[in-house]
């Protein structure tokens, strides 16, 4: 088993003291250490936002892409080189707002990778505007009279949208979250973890103490993750917030079924040395 320290980069996180993203970072580092994933076989891909600075703080290959586009790039990386363990990440604004189109199609496409969202129910980097997961009537910098848009429920939408592994974690429960990361990475198919990761600077409602009162662990209830109806019921629960694996129902992955990949193998392993450069000019 590798040491957790092997996954810490030389760059120290620049998040505010107490930000929930620290717990998510250490949880993924622990999961990778427990799974003994070689650093050179791991690729972290993010979008834009406080949480999307994540790849810089993680000792692996990394890509810090454009706002809402991290998931599209991460899927491309996995298709190009299936030998990599690909983990995509970002915030709720990045993944469920501007990146929502990519999110919806990644659910049904089922490429073998993990995506997690550090969900703080606010835009943190831009200093506190309403995000897709902000609750109704919450006052923010962009909705001073209260948010009137019904909040996006990522886990319910993921279950309905064909995602084969749907989990919810909390950065205040880092050991529990690390176990979720391990299961998600080992899952054959697209896995989503929605991580409650409080913004201590701009969200004074959904705080660590608030989540501590609201959460309970799914695995202590006898829930069967293969049961679609039961999973959806958990996803829609509002008086309490279940954390753990809500839904798990593997099916053939896109990468295992796409004819070109099956017939010719990984693009990064193609022998292009025989190609006449003149042929490539035909594509211009
Ligand atoms: Fe974290 Fe919020 Fe600070 Fe951003 S603004 S680093 S989300 S606490």
Q: Which atom of ligand 1 lies closest to the CA of 203?
A: 2
* C-alpha–C-alpha distance, residues 152 and 134, integer Å: 8
* Closest by CA position to 214, among listed 223, 202, 222, 205: 205
The protein residue with its alpha carbon nearest to ligand 1, atom 3, reads 16
Global pTM exceeds 0.85: yes
Per-residue pLDDT of the chain (284 residues; tens, 9 = 90+): 789 999 999 999 999 999 999 999 999 999 999 999 999 999 999 999 999 999 999 999 999 999 999 999 999 999 999 999 999 999 999 999 999 999 999 999 999 999 999 999 999 999 999 999 999 999 999 999 999 999 999 999 999 999 999 999 999 999 999 999 999 999 999 999 999 999 999 999 999 999 999 999 999 999 999 999 999 999 999 999 999 999 999 999 999 999 999 998 999 988 877 667 777 777 77
- Hey, where are the domains in the chain? 19-283
89: nearest Cα among 38, 25, 6: 25
Give the pLDDT score at 190. Answer: 98
Cα of 79 to ligand 1 centre, how many Å?
Answer: 32
Q: How far is the CA of 110 from the centre of ligand 1 (A)?
A: 31
Nearest-angstrom CA–CA distance, 6 and 148: 45
Question: Cα–Cα distance between 44 and 62 in angstroms, integer?
Answer: 5
Separation of alpha carbons 151 and 16, rounded Å: 25
120 lines ligand 1 (CB under 6 A): yes
CATH 3.40.50.1950 fits 19-283, yes or no: no
pLDDT for the residue numbered 73: 98
What does the alpha-carbon distance between residue 202 and residue 254 come to, in Å, rounded to a whole number?
Answer: 39
Q: Is 47 in the pocket of ligand 1 (CB under 6 A)?
A: no
Asked if 139 and 205 count as a contact pair (C-beta separation under 8 A), the reply is no
Measuring CA to CA, which residue among 195, 190, 229, 192 is closest to residue 108?
A: 190
Distance 212 CA to ligand 1 centre (A): 19
Q: Which of 199, 206, 209, 116 is nearest to 165 (CA)?
A: 116
């Amino acid at each position: 088993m590798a040491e957790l320290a092997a996954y810490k980069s030389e760059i120290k996180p620049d998040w505010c003291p107490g930000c929930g993203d620290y717990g998510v970072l250490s949880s993924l580092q622990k999961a990778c250490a427990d799974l003994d994933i070689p650093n050179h076989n791991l690729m972290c891909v993010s979008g834009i936002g406080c949480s999307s600075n994540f790849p810089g703080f993680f000792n692996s290959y990394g890509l810090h892409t454009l706002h809402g586009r991290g998931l599209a790039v991460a899927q491309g990386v996995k298709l190009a080189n299936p030998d990599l363990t690909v983990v995509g990440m970002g915030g709720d604004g990045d993944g469920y707002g501007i990146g929502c189109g990519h999110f919806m199609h990644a659910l049904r496409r089922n490429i073998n990778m993990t995506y997690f969202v550090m969900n703080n129910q606010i835009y943190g980097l831009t200093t506190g505007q309403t995000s897709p997961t902000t609750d109704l009537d919450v006052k923010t910098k962009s909705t001073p009279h209260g948010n009137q848009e019904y909040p996006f429920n990522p886990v319910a939408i993921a279950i309905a949208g064909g995602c084969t592994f749907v989990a919810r974690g909390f950065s205040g429960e880092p050991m529990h979250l690390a176990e979720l990361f391990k299961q998600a990475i080992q899952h054959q198919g697209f896995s989503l973890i929605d991580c409650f990761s409080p913004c201590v600077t701009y969200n004074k409602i959904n705080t660590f103490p608030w989540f501590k009162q609201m959460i309970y662990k799914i695995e202590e209830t006898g829930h069967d993750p293969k049961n679609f109806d039961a999973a959806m019921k958990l996803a829609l629960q509002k008086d309490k917030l279940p954390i753990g694996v809500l839904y798990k129902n593997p099916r053939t992955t896109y990468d295992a079924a796409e004819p070109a990949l099956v017939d010719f193998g990984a693009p990064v392993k193609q022998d292009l040395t025989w190609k006449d450069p003149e042929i490539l000019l035909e594509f211009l």
